[in-house]
């Protein structure tokens, strides 16, 4: 029974209508549960939505905990002990806790964690085959992506240090320089903080040009890995 339950709650396989229905149900639940976050005020309808969706998330969490040994392909007690500490289980738990306030007024402390309801969006990752492929690609390419992130971080710090010392009047704190360097690296350019001297503008141009190259690297790595993963699945 638990093996069949595991097959249902995982990503639907071709022809498994029950698993497909479960995936669609959970995706709809996730979308509906985030609707109250788009409003500053609450009402009775939103309270019912929170209560119902929280109950569904709790049931889903229990089902996944019950079938942890099948997911981890390991028998014994260890999978059931390790599962609550896995990344997706932690996301599930964080997304459930704020909803407990709807079920019991005794948990008023959790009202401070209303923002944690946004973590429910990440629950949708496990129900999409495309997203799962991207996650697999990121895991397989983590060394290359880590190298690019290190390069980007180093470039941001160096650019910030240079512009902070060149543009003394434009940047009050080093954090402002870090913010400017990050925005310039991504070529966004909000315009709220900008250099005014010729040297500062030259640094900005160089930073923007290098930023295009650095930002394009992870996109190319993920795209290549995604295509390879699709070919392997086919």
pLDDT of residue 107: 47
Q: What does the domain layout of the chain look like in residue ranges?
A: 2-127, 140-233
- 102's CB contacts (< 8 A; 6+ apart) are 47, 50, 51, 54
Q: What is the pLDDT of residues 64-77, one digit of tens each?
A: 999 988 888 777 88
Which of 5, 231, 25 lies closest to 133, judged by CA?
A: 231
101 pLDDT more than 70: no
144 pLDDT more than 50: yes
- The mean pLDDT of 102-126, rounded to a whole number, is 62
| Other beta carbons within 10 Å of 23 | 21
Per-residue DSSP letter, 1:
-
Distance CA 138, CA 188 (A): 24
Lowest mean pLDDT among 9-13, 100-104, 114-118: 100-104
Q: Alpha helices, DSSP H only, in 67-172?
A: 68-71, 78-82, 87-96, 100-103, 129-140, 142-166
110 pLDDT more than 50: no
Distance CA 62, CA 74 (A): 18
Confidence of residue 63 (pLDDT cuts 50, 70, 90): very high
- The mean pLDDT of 122-148, rounded to a whole number, is 81
Per-residue DSSP letter, 172:
S
Q: What is the pLDDT of residues 185-225, one digit of tens each?
A: 877 777 788 888 888 888 888 888 888 888 888 888 888 88
pLDDT of residue 106: 47
pLDDT of residue 209: 84
- Averaged pLDDT of the chain: 82
CATH code that applies to domain 140-233: 1.10.287.70
């Amino acid at each position: 029974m638990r093996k069949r339950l595991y097959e249902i709650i995982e990503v639907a396989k071709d022809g498994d209508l029950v698993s497909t229905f479960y995936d669609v149900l959970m995706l709809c639940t996730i979308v509906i549960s985030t609707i109250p976050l788009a409003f500053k005020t609450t009402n009775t309808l939103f309270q019912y939505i929170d209560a119902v969706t929280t109950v569904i998330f709790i049931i889903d969490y229990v089902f996944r905990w019950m079938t942890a040994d099948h997911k981890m392909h390991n028998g014994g007690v260890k999978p059931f002990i390790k599962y609550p500490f896995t990344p997706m289980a932690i996301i599930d738990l964080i997304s459930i806790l704020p909803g407990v306030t709807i079920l019991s007024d005794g948990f008023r402390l959790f009202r401070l964690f209303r923002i944690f309801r946004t973590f429910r969006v990440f629950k949708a990752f496990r129900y999409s085959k495309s997203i799962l492929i991207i996650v697999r690609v990121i895991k397989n390419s983590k060394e290359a992506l880590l190298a690019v992130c290190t390069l980007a971080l180093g470039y941001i710090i160096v650019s910030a240090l240079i512009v902070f010392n060149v543009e003394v009047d434009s940047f009050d704190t080093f954090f402002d320089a870090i913010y400017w360097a990050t925005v310039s690296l991504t070529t966004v350019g909000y315009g709220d903080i900008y250099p005014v001297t010729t040297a500062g503008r030259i640094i900005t141009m160089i930073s923007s040009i290098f930023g295009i190259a650095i930002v394009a690297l992870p996109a190319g790595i993920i795209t290549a890995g995604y295509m390879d993963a699709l070919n392997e699945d086919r």
